[in-house]
Chains A and B, each alone.
Chain A
Amino acid sequence: MSQIVSRLTPYFEQLKKRLPAGFNSSLVLPCLRRIQEERGFVADEDITALVTYLGVPRMQVEQVLSYYTQFRRKPIGRWHLQVCHNVTCSMRGAEHALDLLQKRLHIKSGQTTTDGRFTLSTVECLGSCGTAPVVMVNDTYHESMTGMKLDALLESLK
């Protein structure tokens, strides 16, 4: 039984109230997001508990978790560094930004540092092209990045 789902049930009930009747299925994404905020990922027991709570088919939740890039079923590092490598960011140095981070952290994109502090990955357009290149750290956009700003950023992330 997922302790996290039990603990979050009052919050889910609040969400339910704000939706019209018959919209239980819609709660899948917001509930998964909230669970992931708590645990850092969505565990198998969370899926089982959520399926029971919402009354949706288990396969629906499994498909949603695999389809959307922001959901994960395994934990990652404390700081998730996502470097946008889409058009404008590439035109304004994304490759350099990624190179620098790979060098500093001694990992390749897609990996996590051995101390569990950083996970590095690339990401598609974040809707911040005006302040390219952009690195997303957990939920926050770090815009107009330069080499120096990246070093300062790494320093600041404990």
Chain B
Amino acid sequence: MTGAKWIMNFPVTATSHSLADYRARGGYETLQKVLTSMKPDDVTKEVTASGLLGHGGAAFPVGRKWAVIKPNDGQPHHLCANADEGEPGTFKDRWVLEHAPHLLLESMLITSYAIGCRHSFVYIRGEFDLPYRRLQAAADEAYEAGYFGERIFGTDFSCDVFVYRGAGSYVCGEASGLLTSIEGKKGYPRNRPPRLTVKGLYQRPTVVNNVETLANITGIVARGAETFRKMGTAKSPGTQLVSISGHVNKPGVYEVEYGYPLAKFIYEDCGGMLGGNKLKALIPGGISTKVLTGDDVAPLTYDHASFDGAGSSLGSGGMIAIADGTCMVRLLQVMLRFYHHESCGQCTPCREGMGWMHRIIDRIVAGKGVPEDIERLIAISNANDGTTICGMGDAAGYATVGFIAKFRDEFEYWIEHKRSKVGGALEVQGTWHA
């Protein structure tokens, strides 16, 4: 009961992802309306008016991104749907790919029309095999039905989609790394300027939007920006697909209307903590957002302003609920290992900094930490803040600084006593079943 539903508004069955079921829900009628009665600019205006913010983690106004693309500039334009979903704790785009692939495809067609894109792409992480097969099957169905290809609905609009599979790299979820990967190379992110909407895929103007962001488009164009704005808050209109996992009773993907009380979400809708445990900490939006304590969580509502005010961020909506008894030092160790593993290696602060932080925390956990290690972790985090080619360096820094800020005592304890303050477990009693 987490507020209004814009995307997860149908029951999931064995066939609900099929074209037939999607059509029964009104599928592709909006596309027809768009192609036969709207100008591309009308679509962009509607999306801008809706105030839709990106759902990949940066919360950039979607209409504003599209508007950078100049129509009739003599260049091909491209749309790429970001289905890389590598942010730990996040699995909501997967829901769309598996259960609402046609919603994504129809939205992509509408978006392609708006920005003048003839060839669109979905970049899907290589590990997502079932979601890939669902999406590819849906694309095949859509081609069969004439929704992709030449002269769609008998209009001048033609469009193709190519589902491009990644092969194991977190930074390919970064928009410019994603495009470089589609170009057949290592997923190295790029410096800006130029923005991708000016020079993107093969140096052509390109829009990269998150899967969930795109999934909102069809509804906005079908039912209007005003209707969309009725949901959520003034600064955060609409809903968020929240992936919640960790030590809660009912992990999963929930569509949460912005403004919904966070405590209610965790303790009621998600069934509260396993075994009635206390919520010790909450990673709010993927591990790259600053961790909140259980007390921080109590007064918050699920929207951008509320989380910004708490010094954190909604991020990618990947929530991880951490129960009392979990060792925060070991948790940060897992995260720093992850960032170290995923650093592409291009730029100095991240390439060297991730390895450095990982080695420091490994040393702390091995009982060889010294007090200055904590300041060093903070210094390395600061050295990565705003100085790197992409946001991964910053992200690792935010995660680290957040953990130390809220749970410094655990780090100091381990350094002094050469063991965890709370026993050293990551899974609390009852989570692993033998």
Direct contact between A and B in the complex (CB less than 8 angstroms)? yes
Does B8 sit within 8 A of A, measured CB to CB? no
A69 touches B283 (CB 8 A): no
User: Which stretch, B25-33, B67-75, B244-252, B364-372, touches the partner chain A?
Assistant: B244-252
Instruction: Give the docked Cα–Cα distance between A105 and B99 (Å).
Output: 36
A127 touches B127 (CB 8 A): yes
Question: B162, B331, B432 — which one has the most chain A CB atoms within 10 A of its CB?
Answer: B432
The 8 A CB mask of B119-139 against A (1 = contact, 0 = none) is 100000111111000000000
Contact A87:B127 (CB < 8 A) given known A63-B186, A92-B427:
no
B184 touches A129 (CB 8 A): no
B164 touches A124 (CB 8 A): no
Does A33 sit within 8 A of B, measured CB to CB? yes
A93 touches B243 (CB 8 A): no
Q: How many A-B residue pairs have CB under 8 A?
A: 171
Q: Residue A64 contacts which of B85, B90, B186, B344 (CB distance < 8 angstroms)?
A: B186
Chain A interface: which size bin? 35 or more
CB A55 to nearest CB in B, in angstroms, measures 11
B162 touches A18 (CB 8 A): yes
Does B51 sit within 8 A of A, measured CB to CB? no
Instruction: Give the docked Cα–Cα distance between A147 and B431 (Å).
Output: 12
Instruction: Give the docked Cα–Cα distance between A97 and B433 (Å).
Output: 10
Contact A146:B165 (CB < 8 A) given known A88-B88, A125-B88, A126-B127:
no
Q: What 9 pairs between A and B have smallest CB-CB spacing?
A: A93-B432, A69-B168, A68-B167, A28-B184, A129-B245, A146-B433, A147-B434, A125-B88, A25-B184
In the bound complex, residues from chain B placing their C-beta under 8 Å from that of A27 are: 184
A91 touches B168 (CB 8 A): no
CB B138 to nearest CB in A, in angstroms, measures 16
A125 touches B86 (CB 8 A): yes
Does B426 sit within 8 A of A, measured CB to CB? yes
B202 touches A68 (CB 8 A): no
In the bound complex, residues from chain B placing their C-beta under 8 Å from that of A28 are: 184-185
A29 touches B245 (CB 8 A): no
Does A153 sit within 8 A of B, measured CB to CB? no
Does A116 sit within 8 A of B, measured CB to CB? no
Which residues of chain A from 24 to 55 have a CB within 8 Å of any chain B CB? 24-30, 32-33
The 8 A CB mask of B296-333 against A (1 = contact, 0 = none) is 00000000000000000000001010100010001100
Does B169 sit within 8 A of A, measured CB to CB? yes
In the bound complex, residues from chain B placing their C-beta under 8 Å from that of A140 are: 129-130
Does A4 sit within 8 A of B, measured CB to CB? no
CB B350 to nearest CB in A, in angstroms, measures 15
B243 touches A29 (CB 8 A): no
The 8 A CB mask of A116-133 against B (1 = contact, 0 = none) is 000000011111111111
The 8 A CB mask of B167-201 against A (1 = contact, 0 = none) is 11110000000000111111100000000000000
Does B253 sit within 8 A of A, measured CB to CB? yes
CB B354 to nearest CB in A, in angstroms, measures 13
B162 touches A130 (CB 8 A): no
Does A70 sit within 8 A of B, measured CB to CB? yes
CB A135 to nearest CB in B, in angstroms, measures 12
Instruction: Give the docked Cα–Cα distance between A25 and B184 (Å).
Output: 5
User: Which stretch, B58-66, B335-343, B355-363, touches the partner chain A?
Assistant: B335-343
Q: Residue A129 contacts which of B165, B170, B243 (CB distance < 8 angstroms)?
A: B243
Q: Residue A130 contacts which of B253, B334, B432 (CB distance < 8 angstroms)?
A: B253
> Can you spell out 29 A-B residue pairs with CB atoms less than 8 angstroms apart?
A23-B202, A28-B184, A29-B181, A33-B167, A56-B184, A64-B186, A67-B187, A68-B126, A68-B166, A71-B168, A87-B335, A90-B331, A92-B247, A93-B427, A93-B433, A95-B427, A124-B86, A127-B86, A127-B128, A128-B94, A129-B90, A129-B243, A129-B318, A130-B243, A130-B244, A130-B245, A132-B245, A132-B251, A146-B433
